[in-house]
Structures are given as C-alpha cells and as structure tokens.
Structure 1
Amino acid sequence: MPSDDMPFLRHLRLCNTAVVPGDRFPFSLGDKLAGWIDPAIADRLEQEGLGSRTKGFALANPAELEALGEKLAQEGFYRSHHELFDVMTDLDQPVIARIDRGALPLFGLVAIGVHMNGLVRKSDGLYLWTGRRARNKRLDPGKLDHLVAGGVPAGHSPAEALLKEAAEEASIGPELAAHAKEVGRILYALNRPEGLRRDILYCYDLFLPESFEPVAADGEVESFSLMKLEDVLALVRDTDEFKFNVNLVLIDLFLRHGLIDPHSAEGRALQNGLARGLSPASPGKEHVTVPA
C-alpha cells in the first residue's frame, strides 16, 4: 500500500516528470516554437544546418519535417512506426506538418491520443472492460489497458480515430462506437526512454450492453476482462498494473462518478493536474503545485 495520503496523485506525478527545457533545445517550425530537441539528435540536426545547441533549432518550411523524420529513422535514431501523425505547435493550434509518430518524442512535439472507458451498467453497479496488452507490444507490454485506446493518425479527428481504434482493438462496430461521449481531455508531459512525451488525451465514455463481448481484431490485446469499477479503483490506488497514462483517464472517471471525492484536497489537485499537467510543457503554461 502506498504511504502517501493522496495515493492517486502519484500517477499524475509519474506522468509529469518533464522539466522544460531541461537538457533539451528549443525547436521551431516556421516562426513558432513547437518542440524540444532531444540531445540524441542535436548533433545530427546541426549537421543538417538547422541550428545549434546554443541558439536552438528551426525548420523554416514545416512541410520538410516528414522527410527529416524519415531520414532519422533510416539512420537508426528511432524505430519507425510507419504511421504519420499531425504536428501542431501547441494545444488547439492548427496542423502545420506531419511526422512519423515514433519521432515525436525526439522532437518533443505534441501528440494526440484517444482513450475510451468501455462501461457496463449492472444491477449491482458499474463495470469496466479492460484489456491486457500483448506481450510483444513495443511499449508497456503485458500492462492492463483500456478497451479502446490509440493515437490519432494524420488527417483524422479524435472522433474518427476512436471509431477506427474501436473496430481494430475490440471489434466494436461504428454504429455502437458512435454512441461514445467525449467527456474531457487530459494533458501531461513526461520523460520516457523514447524521449519527451507531450500528450493530449481525448477521453470518451461508451456504455455497452451486458451481452457485449469484445474481440481483439489486431493482435494488440491478449485478453479482456470485465471488472467492477470499485475493483479497478483499488488497482489504480494500490498498484501499477495499468499502463501509465490509462491511470489518468481512470482517475478522471472515478472523480466524475464520485469514487474519489472531487471536493477533497486530493480531488481538487487531481482535477487541476489532469486539465493542465503538473509541469509546464511549453513556455506560458501555468505550473500546478502538487502537495508533497
């Protein structure tokens, strides 16, 4: 059991470990700051004539970012996902470029994902469908996950990406998935082995019939389980069984359904942290103070 008297806050702390700039270097697309360059590629970008460690880096033509990302993958700086993501300079800014999703952390660029709580209402309360990530997954193999979650590919809205992921990950048809309700979005910035993650998660709830049985269509999930929501809360409170960012979406769910008191000291800190992050991801972001 965690000794912290605010046990859920530890998940927010773990997802907000980035201090910007730290040892990273500013990266601009056009004339706007967009990201933070990892030291692992700084020398290579200097060779490309894109700036320096002392003055920062910039790509005058954002359309050239995709080709730059492909070149770095071919040279072994990261492992390509063969999936392009849209690139924007910050939250709620327009899309100005795209790059392979595997390169986003090296450039410290904003990435967008979708997470869906697959809920079932029974006579004895709420239940949540969870998935166990396949053991061969690149990130967080074997961890518990949402029924549906994934990144938003280039050219897709979050709602479109959710329909795509629902079909691929749990065989949920578009007619049923279209009933998912957007319930909020969560921000965090953390250091990961792959680099700086600056993620925005669009969160959805979908109430499923008791007769529903998920089927993994893409091989990314090894099994599904239907769990009572109170049991899910205990796992999040007491363990690290869930993939790191899934904990944040579940904490938001617990707050909305009163399993965590939103008016308590921890509840207020959680709500602030989920909405704004606990550390600034870019200049101008307000730093949220977290109780020690």
Structure 2
Amino acid sequence: MAALHATYLAVSNKSFSRTLAPFLRHIAACNNAGLPGSRTPFFCDASQIGWITPSTIQALETLEAHKSGTFGVSSGADLFPLSRTLCEMGLYTSHHEAFDVRDDSGAVLGQVDRGAIPVLGLAAEGVHLNGLVERADGLFLWVARRSMSKRLDPGKLDHLVAGGMSAGLDPQTTVIKEAQEEAGIPAGLAAKAQRVGRIHYALERPEGLRRDVLHCYDLLLPEDFVPVAEDGEVESFHLLPIQRVMALVRDTNDFKFNVNLVLIDLFLRRGLFDPADASILRRALSGQAA
C-alpha cells in the first residue's frame, strides 16, 4: 500500500498537460492513504483484514478480549458483536446495515455494521452504474443530486445508481436492488446492466479509512425513461450530455469523491481523451506508475 500511495504522490507532483492534470487530481485525492503509516494491522484469526489507528487501539485495549496486545478477533463470529461494542463506545454511529467482511481470497469471514468499516480500516465493496442514453445528438448520462439529508457528502452530484454491497449480496444483485430503490428502474431493465470494470482506492476520510472496491456497470436506458427517487436518497435527477459531465469532473468538485473515478473510466472507454493522456490515466486508475 505504501508503493501505491507513492504512485499517487508522484502523479500529483508531476507536471502534466492542463487538460490531464484536473482529472489526475481526483485519482490522487482518492488515494491519499499511505499504509501502514501510523496504523496497526487488525486480524480475524490469522488473516489481516484491516488497519486501525492509535485511537481505535486505545478503545480495543479497554476490552478484556483485546488486552493481550494482539488486535483482532479469534473468529468471524466475533466481528459483528465487536462492531456493535465500538458503536456503543461512541467510535461511530450505526448504519443499521450489515456488510460482509472477506479475506484476501474473497471468502466471507463474518459481518460488521457498515459504520464500523472505516473505523477498522476494512475493505468494502459497492456498485456504481452509468445510466446512459444514446440519442441522435450524442451520448447523455443521468446524474443524481444527493439528498441534503445524506450522512455522506450531502448535496453532491452522484451516479444514477450507486450503493454499498450489503451482507449476502453480490454485485449484480446489488445493482438490481439499488436501481429499483434509488431510481425506480425495473428489475428486468436493471438486469441488462453490463459490468465494465473494477476500481479500488485507499482514502483517509473524516469517518476513517476507506478501502473501497467499486464494481462499475453501464446501462443503456430508453430515451423516454425518467428516473424516480423511491427511497428519498436523491434530491433530483438530470440528463446531461457526456461532454457537460466531463467538464464538471474537469473543472469542479461537484461530484461525490469516488464518482469521479468511475466517470473517468467511462470517458476513457468512450475515447474522450487523446491516446497519450488516456494511457497515463489508465495507469493511474489501476495504481501503476504514471
């Protein structure tokens, strides 16, 4: 992880063309966590699953089960009770939603409250869907504006559909579920979404360490489709030309932090960068040296 962080420091410190640098800044901003840094490994049995700060260590040391100096749990069954205890200790506010915790091979070890994930520096998975409309006058993208009541990045622009992968779900099932809840997309239409890539990053945020894996999808929507916010998480929807979306990513911070990465990937796949710039951006998105 230290090597990955160094890659993004190099990206942010290099002198690139004026057209490329604004996009690279979003990639660098989402990869600002240099690990281990001051963090200590957190284990489930013999598997390291997270990274914890000195303040989290201090909280764990007050618990009888963590007085041996080894920070972690003996089995996956202990993860959710620990996350609940950390909530009761005031380290985070419960999301009332369980997320799976996986080892490096992808096997599910147990579950935690979603809010505990950044506190323990656990990896988490989610989906982002580009809602695309192909018209005679070009390619358009449905953009959502997040409700001001959202706990994370209220009022920011977002994808038509995006959400974390709850316990027991896979990416495809999550896309279908979130598409119905967030935009009123029928399951039959949402099932046509094409998986187009995967993006990961390590980001220090006020809530803790975000080690997210984003499963990216494209969905071509009919011209007469109009999204409906069924769960109250979206304030409004807007259908924008792809060039307008690209300008917003380039010139502003209007989009939620990780949405920028998925949109840059979309712009790359649609050939909106010249070949030299595209090569640099692809390497940066994948964590390779620029």
Specify if TM > 0.5.
Answer: yes
Alignment length, in residue pairs? 274
Match of residue 281 from structure 1? none
Correspondence 1:212 to 2:225: yes
Per-residue CA deviation, residues 112-163 of structure 1 (Å, 9 max, x unaligned), is 0000000000001100000000011101010000000000000000111111
Contact 1:28 1:57 in 2 (8 A): yes
Q: Distance in 2 between matches of 1:115 and 1:39?
A: 33
Q: Structure 1: 5+ residue runs without aligned partners?
A: 278-287
- Match of residue 35, structure 2, among 14, 20, 36: 20
Correspondence 1:31 to 2:46: yes
Per-residue CA deviation, residues 211-243 of structure 1 (Å, 9 max, x unaligned), is 000000000000000000011001101111100
**Aligned ranges for residues 8-157 of structure 1 at < 5 Å?**
8-49=23-64, 51=66, 57-90=71-104, 92-157=105-170
Q: Distance in 2 between matches of 1:29 and 1:103?
A: 15
Q: Distance in 1 between matches of 2:72 and 2:183?
A: 41
Q: Cα offset for 1:59? A: 1.2
Q: Distance in 1 between matches of 2:140 and 2:130?
A: 10
Contact 1:12 1:274 in 2 (8 A): yes
Contact 2:162 2:178 in 1 (8 A): yes
Q: Cα offset for 1:50? A: 5.0
TM-score (norm 1): 0.90
Instruction: Give the letter aligned to residue 61 of structure 1.
Output: S
Q: Relative to structure 1, is the Cα distance of residues 235 and 41 closer, same or farther in structure 2, using a 3 angstrom cutoff?
A: same
Contact 2:283 2:289 in 1 (8 A): no
Match of residue 12 from structure 2? none
**Aligned ranges for residues 151-170 of structure 1 at < 5 Å?**
151-170=164-183
Match of residue 267 from structure 1? 278
Contact 1:25 1:56 in 2 (8 A): no
Match of residue 187 from structure 1? 200
Match of residue 239 from structure 1? 252
Secondary structure of 1:156's match? coil
Q: Which contiguous aligned blocks of 4+ residues in structure 1 show a shift greater than 4 angstroms?
A: 2-5, 49-53
Q: Relative to structure 1, is the Cα distance of residues 192 and 56 closer, same or farther in structure 2, using a 3 angstrom cutoff?
A: farther
Secondary structure of 2:56's match? helix
Contact 1:114 1:203 in 2 (8 A): yes
